[in-house]
Structure 1
C-alpha cells in the first residue's frame, strides 16, 4: 500500500492519519478537507470560541511538530465528489483526483436544516461559529430550535453573554431519548436555573423577520435564530461507488466497508454488530474508532472489531454533564451520590441486574471510578 487517502480533515481524519503513522505505515498520506482551514477541534465552537474566550489557535488539532512528523499531503478547500474503486481514485471538486491504494472515509456530516429556516444559523464549522458570534451583539433576543447538546451549549453561551434566550424543543424534555425522563428533567432544570426560557413539546413552522412562528400560530420574537437539530452524514459523494450507504456509510464491526481497502470512521460511519446498524456523533467515538479501522485497513482484512465506550460530555451553564455506556430511556436510574436536585451527583442506569450506563453532573472523580469499574470494555478483537 503506497498511498492512503483520508477523506475528511476534522478529528476523525486527523486521528486516522496519526494512527497510520503510529502503526508503522510509511507511505504517502493525503488528507482531503472541504474546508480551507487546517484541522481544528469542534467542541469549543459552541462554548469558549463562541463566547470569545477561546482563541482560534487553541482549536488547532496539529501543532508544528505534528505537521512535520506526520508528513501529510494536504488537499484543503476541495470536496471529494466521487470514489472510483476500479481506478482507485478519489475525484475532487477542483477537477483533480487522488490515486490511493486505501481510503479512510471520515467526511462527518452537515448540520441539518429545517424547511423555512434557511436563513437561520447552524453550528457545525468554524465559519458557522464566526458568523454566529458576530450576530450575538448586546441586546439581541436569541431563539434556539432544538435542546440537544449543541442547542443547550449555545443557549448556555448566550446566557453568559447576558442575552435573552428561548429554547424550543419538540420533545417533552431535552435529551429524553438519550438520558431518559428522570435525568432529562435535570437538563431542563439547568436551563431554568440560569434564566433560559425552555419550551418543550412545541413545533416550529417558519421563520420571519419577527422571529419563529410555531405550529399553534404563536410567535416567538427573536433577532437571532439558531437551528440545532442534528446532522446529516456526508455520503452523497459516494453514489455509484458500490458502497452501501443510508444514514451513514455501512461497515462491518471492524469499520470496513463493502470494499476491504475502504474503511469509515467518525460521524459518518454506520457499523453493524449482530445485524444492527449503529452510528455515533461524538468526539470520543471518532478517536476510539481510528486504531481499529486503520489496523484493519493495513491488514487488508477485518482483524479487530470496534467496542464503543459510549462516552459523551457536555458543558452547560455551570454544569459538566458526563455519560458513559449505552443506556435506554426505560432503564432504571439509581443515584449513587447526591440526587437530581443537587448541583453535583452521580447516577447509574440498571438493566436486568447489570449497570449499563453512568451519568454525572459536576462529579468527574466518582464518575470515572464507576465508569472503570462497572463499564469495563473488552479489548478490541
Structure 2
C-alpha cells in the first residue's frame, strides 16, 4: 500500500465511522495517530465495544481465551483518545446533501467525512426448521457465547451422543468442526461442493482438509445440502438432506458464507459492485461520493492479479483497510493494493493463505513438501496460471508469507522445478 503523507489538523471537522468491528476501530486509532484533532465518532449496532472476530471460531470458542481478549482496545481507550461511541445504535440512513447520518434512536450525527465499515452478516439457510432452538450462526460475540454453550454440553446430558451438524465446509465451518472435535463433540459436515473449501482452494488442497478432519472423526457428506431441520419439543433433533439422508443433530450451525451489509450505502445511492456484492471503492477506498469511504468486509476493491472488484472478508483486510481509509479521509495519497491474506488453526495444523485462485483461474498446483506426509503435514502449495503464481498456502511452514506474496505481485513466470524444491529460497524466485 503506497501512502503519501499529508498532515491535516482538522480541529473543526467531524469524521464519522459506521461499524464497530476491527476496521472501524483501527480507523479511529489511525486518525488519532495521524494527529487528527477534530471530532471522531464511532457507531456500532452491538452493545459490545469493537472486537476481533477470528477468536470467535478459534480460542474463544474453545474456552482458551477470556472475553476481554477479543476487544480491539480496552474500553477506557476510547474516552482517553476522545473517540465518541454510540453503541447498540444502528445507523438507519445517510443524508448526503446535509452530510448527516440518522441513528435508530432518531439522533442525527454530522460528518465532514464518513467511513462505512458495516461488515457482513451470515447467509441464512432459508429452509424449514430454522426457527428451532439449536440453530446457530457465528458472526458476533453473542453467537460465539451461545455456540460455546452447546460445545460444552449446554443442551442437556441426554443429547451428548448427537452430533453438531455444520452446513458448509468453508473456513468457519472447518474451524468450528475442529473446535467441536477438540472438545469431544461429534461433528457432521454437509457441503454441496465436492470437497471442503472447494470454491477457494479447488479439489487438490481440499483433499488435505478432508483427510485432516476425517482423522479427527469428522463425518462429511459432500454434494448435497440441508433440505429441512426437524425438531422435538422445540429443539433441533435431526436434519434432512437433499439426497434423502436423515441425520441426527444435537445442534445446527449455518456456515454457508456471509453477505456484505450494503443496505445503508444502497439507500444513499452509492455505487455497489456487481450484483450488490460490496460497496464499490477506488484505490483510495473512496466510494462514488467523494466524502464517503468504505473498508473491511463491506468494501469491494481491486485486488492484485484478480479481475474487477472483489470483497475480502478476512481479518487482515479489516486490519489494514481501516487505517488506509482513515489516511485517505485525511487527504493523504493512498493506494490500497494488498494481496489478500488469511490464517487458520485447525487441530495441530496452522496455515496461511495468500492470493486469490478459485477453480477456473489456475491451471496447475505445485507442491513444496508432501501433503501426504500425515506425520508432519508441512508443505507449501502454489496455484499457477501460465507459469505465474496466483496464490500460495503454507501449512506448518512459517516465515514464508512475504516471499509468497512477492511471487504473486511479480506476475512473472517461475521455474516450477525450483518452486517445488525446498532447497531453493523462495525470495530468489520473485526477481527484483
Secondary structure at the aligned position of 2:269 is classed as coil
Aligned pair count?
375
- Following superposition, the deviation at residue 372 of structure 1 comes to 5.4
Equivalent pair of 1:115/1:206 in contact (CA under 8 Å): no
Equivalent pair of 1:358/1:370 in contact (CA under 8 Å): no
* Distance in 1 between residues matched to 2:56 and 2:20, nearest whole Å: 16
Secondary structure at the aligned position of 2:337 is classed as coil
- Following superposition, the deviation at residue 328 of structure 1 comes to 3.6
Note the residue ranges of structure 2 that are not aligned, 5 or more in a row: 1-9, 232-236, 412-432
Give a deviation string over 1:332-363, Cα, whole Å, max 9, x none.
21112333444211122222222222211111
Q: 1:322 maps to which residue?
A: 352
* Distance in 1 between residues matched to 2:191 and 2:223, nearest whole Å: 6
Equivalent pair of 1:17/1:70 in contact (CA under 8 Å): no
Q: 1:148 maps to which residue?
A: 170
Q: Which of 83, 108, 117 is residue 94 of structure 2 equivalent to? A: 83
Secondary structure at the aligned position of 1:110 is classed as strand
Secondary structure at the aligned position of 1:103 is classed as strand
Note the residue ranges of structure 1 that are not aligned, 5 or more in a row: none
* Distance in 2 between residues matched to 1:269 and 1:196, nearest whole Å: 35
Equivalent pair of 2:121/2:259 in contact (CA under 8 Å): yes
Q: State yes or no: 1:30 paired with 2:41.
A: yes
Q: State yes or no: 1:4 paired with 2:15.
A: yes
1:122-271 alignment runs, 5 A limit: 122-136=137-151, 137=153, 139=160, 140-209=162-231, 210-245=237-272, 246-271=276-301
Q: 1:61 maps to which residue?
A: 72
- Following superposition, the deviation at residue 250 of structure 1 comes to 1.5
Equivalent pair of 2:78/2:85 in contact (CA under 8 Å): no
TM-score under structure 1 length normalisation: 0.93
- Following superposition, the deviation at residue 69 of structure 1 comes to 4.8
Q: 2:369 maps to which residue?
A: 337
Q: 1:93 maps to which residue?
A: 104
User: Which segment is superposed worse, 185-194 or 285-294?
Assistant: 285-294
Select the structure of larger CA radius of gyration.
Answer: 2
Equivalent pair of 1:307/1:377 in contact (CA under 8 Å): no
Equivalent pair of 1:82/1:239 in contact (CA under 8 Å): no
TM-score under structure 2 length normalisation: 0.82
* Distance in 2 between residues matched to 1:231 and 1:339, nearest whole Å: 29
* Distance in 1 between residues matched to 2:211 and 2:193, nearest whole Å: 15
Equivalent pair of 1:260/1:297 in contact (CA under 8 Å): no
Q: Which of 265, 289, 310 is residue 278 of structure 1 equivalent to? A: 310
Secondary structure at the aligned position of 1:180 is classed as helix
* Distance in 2 between residues matched to 1:195 and 1:52, nearest whole Å: 21
- Following superposition, the deviation at residue 294 of structure 1 comes to 2.0
- Following superposition, the deviation at residue 68 of structure 1 comes to 5.0
Q: 2:401 maps to which residue?
A: 368
* Distance in 2 between residues matched to 1:122 and 1:193, nearest whole Å: 26
